[in-house]
Amino acid sequence: MEYIKKIRKYIGHDPIMMCACGCLIFNEKGQVLLQKRSDDNLWGNPGGSMDLGETIYETVIREIKEETNLDIKAENLKIFNIYSGEEQHHIYPNEDEVYFVNIIFETTNYNGNIKTDSESVELQFFDLDNLPSNITKPFIPIARDLKKRTFKQQ
């Protein structure tokens, strides 16, 4: 995140492309863990932006630990999907504008006790057919893909 803060000093709120990594964490009931963000009070998957020199696995492991207090391991991660384009255009409440290249992993293997951080108002597991309606824009295509998965399982 220090990299992004440094760039913002030069370009202000103008759009930037940002690599982000997140994870869909499923519990034993098949429910997915979502995060209600503190900046806009909208739901989405936990995750965040890559720091310089990080791998995608290092990024997702770090972000999940920071935002949920859960420990995940690279060998237990499977790529869910990669999202980009206009659907990943996001304007933060502070008016910073980004286009994400968003690499989303999934796992059922995690350890620790769920705990929010400064970026989270709430963390909660949801049934795939009962996801919250107040979701952040970059999560919309992910939610759509989760619902497709639910439909296919029926």
* pLDDT tens track for 1-13: 678 888 999 999 9
Nearest Cα to Cα of residue 112 among 66, 149, 81:
66
What is the DSSP pairing of strand 32-37 with strand 43-44?
antiparallel
* pLDDT tens track for 30-75: 999 999 999 999 999 999 999 999 999 999 999 999 999 999 999 9
Residue 154: the pLDDT is 47
* pLDDT tens track for 107-151: 999 999 999 988 899 999 999 999 999 999 999 999 999 988 766
For residue 152, what pLDDT band results from cuts at 50, 70 and 90? low
E strand or H helix at 125, and its extent? strand 120-126
Residue 2: the pLDDT is 79
* pLDDT tens track for 88-101: 999 999 999 999 99
Could you give the number of structural domains in the chain? 1
The two structure tokens encoding residue 121: 């108002």
Average pLDDT, the chain: 94
Q: Which amino acid is at 83?
A: Y
**Within a 13 Å sphere around the CA of 122, how many CA atoms are in the beta-carbon half?**
9
Residue 153: the pLDDT is 55
Q: Which domain holds residue 64?
A: 2-153
Cβ-contact 122, 116 below 8 angstroms: yes
Q: Say whether 18 sits in a helix, a strand or coil.
A: strand
Residue 148: the pLDDT is 86
CATH code for position 82: 3.90.79.10
Give the helix ranges, DSSP H, for the chain. Answer: 2-11, 56-68, 140-153
pLDDT(14) > 90: yes
